Chain A
Amino acid sequence: SQQGEEDPQALSIQEGENATMNCSYKTSINNLQWYRQNSGRGLVHLILIRSNEREKHSGRLRVTLDTSKKSSSLLITASRAADTASYFCATDQYSGNTPLVFGKGTRLSVIA
Chain B
Amino acid sequence: GAVVSQHPSRVICKSGTSVKIECRSLDFQATTMFWYRQFPKQSLMLMATSNEGSKATYEQGVEKDKFLINHASLTLSTLTVTSAHPEDSSFYICSARGPGGASGELFFGEGSRLTVL
Give the interface of A toward B (CB within 8 A): 1-2, 30, 40-43, 45, 48, 88, 92, 94, 96-105, 107
Given A42-B110, A105-B43, A107-B41, the answer on whether A100 and B95 have CB atoms closer than 8 Å is yes
Other-chain contact of B106, A42, A92, A104, A105 (Cβ < 8 Å): A92
**Are A99's CB and B49's CB within 8 A?**
yes
Binds A, one of B15-23, B70-78, B97-105: B97-105
- Rounded to whole angstroms, the CA-CA distance of A42 and B59 in the bound complex is 22
Chain A-chain B contacts (Cβ-Cβ < 8 Å), number: 53
Specify which chain B residues have a CB less than 8 angstroms from the CB of A88 in the assembled complex.
43-44
6 cross-chain CB contacts under 8 A: A1-B46, A43-B108, A92-B106, A100-B34, A102-B44, A105-B43
Specify which chain A residues have a CB less than 8 angstroms from the CB of B106 in the assembled complex.
92, 99-100
Other-chain contact of A2, B34, B43, B110 (Cβ < 8 Å): B43
Chain B residue total in the interface (Cβ 8 A)? 27
Q: Does B24 count as interface, using CB distance less than 8 angstroms? A: no
Given A1-B59, A42-B108, A97-B101, the answer on whether A102 and B43 have CB atoms closer than 8 Å is yes
Given A100-B106, A103-B43, the answer on whether A42 and B93 have CB atoms closer than 8 Å is yes
**Are A99's CB and B43's CB within 8 A?**
no
**Are B108's CB and A97's CB within 8 A?**
no
Other-chain contact of B102, A41, A96, A103 (Cβ < 8 Å): A96
**Are B43's CB and A42's CB within 8 A?**
no
